[in-house]
Structure 1
């Protein structure tokens, strides 16, 4: 029988702001794509995209012995990262409640780069455009509407499983990659920062 994983421990933006202000900031690992990270991130955070974190979690463990707060857009990817690191044996993990969206909503500081659409917005654009196009084409080509039906089924599965194959595929586009989050670079940065 399948069990629902326990919710990841969280820290609110206000509490994290206070820790940063008091000089007691935990390690901040931002698990979004490099493109999303470049657009806006919490000063002092490290970009370790979720797929990189999963693939290299054992290498990261040796450099994450203190408090760690995981950050993403809204908290879902950070919760996945928390589960992956907790399974590998890392204690003291928390997720930023509400992610970077909540962080910015309270007026907390962010480092900004060139604007890019976040992954959720890109998925909505691609899925909506495909459904619209197949609906219109379906007027002239019988059966074309089934492509839109398949996309709807995929989005339903994505919501139920809290995963998104379209988001994974879109994250691999050059637009979303930005500078590569190389694990060696991340580990070097983790070592050099007190």
Structure 2
């Protein structure tokens, strides 16, 4: 395949490492050519605000959306569909949400999503601030749609026509520990999934690098 694209970023953050106030937003578009002829678009934004300045409690809300358009009017190959899960709704394994092949349970991905998150980050009173450990509580929700009926796909490489899928609302709540390690801010998320499809793959704990988006 061949691809080209661009990215736009906007920031009013007071601190990029540990923001307490401001907006951070990105907009990305990618054209995927040759056999695919797709236009993939994603927009993400997160706003930070101090909730209790004296206690260093920070709130944030995040919104994101994505869409893949098949410019030739055909379907979207599962190889190019959205597959990310935990970065949209925590508590799902990588590639753990969305329609699957009925024969092999292979993930097909999805061609559209809209998601929102809310989070409160706070110091842990029993630990000195010099330890660099903070806590967080959060809630995630998303609607995904796209890769149609799993019964119409003979193998994973074939395109899938866009259409409705069952159980497309996903949500979770959880708590996190965030540590400013020497290798960068590490984040451990403990998640409880509230809404999922029968075949979705979930996980209680994940360890990742802390990201702005």
The question of a shared fold, defined as TM-score above 0.5 by the shorter chain, is answered with no
TM-score for both structures, normalised by structure 1: 0.22
Choose between structure 1 and 2: higher helix proportion: 1
